[in-house]
Structure 1
Amino acid sequence: MSQETYELKAEARERVGKGSARELRRNGMIPAVIYGDKQAPISIAINTNEVTKRIHAGGFMTTIATINVDGKKYQVLPKDYQLDPVRDFTMHVDFLRVSRDSQVTVAIPVHFENEDKAPGIKSGGVLNIVRHDVEVHCPANAIPEAFTVDLTGKKVGDSIHISDVTLPKNVSPVITDRDFTIATIVAPLVAVEDEATETVEAEGEEKSED
C-alpha cells in the first residue's frame, strides 16, 4: 500500500476564473476541484504550503486523501496538478472522488534491487530503464506503493518485462496487448563505441586494399 492517508482542509469557492485564481494564490491558497463518482464537481481552495509539502513528500498521486470542505469530508485521489513553469510553485490540483469500491488508474513507480548481484552490471553493463513507472488498474483502497524488480542473476542482454513483475491481487497493467519491457541491461557505452570504431577502421582498411 502507499503511504498512510492524510487530511487536507479546504474552503468551497463560488468564484472561478483566472482573476479569482490569482487572488487565491496571492493569499496563500491554491484553486482545486473535486470531481467524479457521478456527482457534480466542487470547486475548492486549499492551503499552498500544505499541498506543496505533500507533493514533495512523495507518493502524492498514489495516496488516498481526505479533504475536509467546511466540515464535509471527501475521500479523494489526486489525479493531476499544475506547476508554474518559471517559479515551480503549485497552481492547481484535480482530485478524483473515490469510494471503497472504486477502481482507479494510477502510475506506480518501479524500484530496482540487488544490482550488486547482477553479473551484467558487475561486469560493467548498464541498467537501461525503459519505464520508471507502470500504469495499472487497481482498487482505490489497495494502491501499491511501488513495484520491485529483482536484478539478481541478470546478464548483459537480458530484458525485464511486465511478466517478470509479481503484481498484487486485483492489480492489472493498462497495457494488455504485449509483454512490454521495463528495463534492459546493456553493454557499457565505451565497449559499444570501441566496437563501432573497430568496424569503421576495418571498413577503411578494406577500401584501401581495393
Structure 2
Amino acid sequence: MSETYELKAEVRDRVGKGAARAVRREGKIPAVIYGDKKPPIPIALSANEVTKKIHGGGFLTTIATLDVAGERIRVIPKDYSLDPVKDFPVHVDFLRVAEGATLVLEVPVHFINDEKSRGIKRGGVLNVVRHAVELVVPADAIPDALTADLAGLDIGDSIHISHVTLPEGVRPTITDRDFTIATIAAPAVLREVEEEGAEGEAEGGESEA
C-alpha cells in the first residue's frame, strides 16, 4: 500500500469557469471534496504539489489527508483533468473516505518473470488485455499493484484473474467469469509461416480433388 500524504487546501468562495480560471492564475488548482453523505466543498490546492503527486504515480490509489482551514479530511482522488495542450492538472475530484470503508478502484497490473517465460524466449509477445483491474478494496489496505507471473508460460497461454493472488479482503468487481488479463501471442513471423503452411495445405487438397 502506498504511503499516505497530506496537502493543505483552502475553501473557494466562488465556483464556475471564471472563478476556476482565477484560481489557476494564482498558481493553484480548483478541486472539490464530495461523498460520505455530506455537502461538497470547493477547494483550491497548490498546483506544484498536486502536479508532483500526479506524476509521482499511484495518485488515484493513495489515501490522502486534506487540511482544509484546520479541518483534516481523509480522501482519495477519484478523477482529475489535464490541460489538453500543456498537460498540467486543471481540476481534481476527491472522495471522502470514512473509517472502515471499502472502495472501487482500478489497480494496475505488473508482469514479472518474463525472462522465465518459454513463449517469450521463443519470440512470443506479451499481449496485455487489461493494464489495470477494477477491484473492491478496503480503504486502509489498497494494493499498489497486482502481480502477474509469466514464469513457465508458452505461446498461446493466457493469464486469467484466477492466476493472480489477491490481497486479503480484495476482490474483482467482475465475478461472473474468469476474465483474461494477458496472453502470450505468437510472433508475427511465426504467424505468417503458419498461415502460409495452412494455405499450402488447402491448395494441395484442391489439386488432389
TM-based fold match above 0.5: yes
The 3-state SS of whatever aligns with 2:55 is: helix
* Structure 2 counterpart of 1:57: 56
Range with bigger deviation, 187-196 or 113-122: 187-196
* Structure 2 counterpart of 1:42: 41
* 1:61-210 aligned within 5 A: 61-200=60-199
Structure 2's unaligned 5+ residue stretches are: none
CA distance in 2, matches of 1:92, 1:69: 17
Offset of residue 204 of structure 1 = 6.4
Offset of residue 84 of structure 1 = 1.1
RMSD: 1.7
Supply the AA of the counterpart residue of 1:29.
K
CA distance in 1, matches of 2:181, 2:102: 24
CA distance in 2, matches of 1:12, 1:199: 68
The 3-state SS of whatever aligns with 1:168 is: coil
Offset of residue 138 of structure 1 = 0.9
Offset of residue 12 of structure 1 = 0.2
CA distance in 2, matches of 1:17, 1:26: 14
Identity %: 61
Supply the AA of the counterpart residue of 2:68.
V
TM-score (norm 1): 0.94
User: Aligned pairs, how many?
Assistant: 209
CA distance in 1, matches of 2:205, 2:171: 54
Offset of residue 157 of structure 1 = 1.0
CA distance in 2, matches of 1:14, 1:177: 47
Offset of residue 202 of structure 1 = 6.0
TM-score (norm 2): 0.94
CA distance in 2, matches of 1:204, 1:19: 70
Offset of residue 195 of structure 1 = 2.6
Deviations 1:40-97 (A, max 9, x none): 1100000111000000000100000000111111000000000111111101000000
* Structure 2 counterpart of 1:27: 26
CA distance in 1, matches of 2:25, 2:69: 21
CA distance in 2, matches of 1:187, 1:48: 46
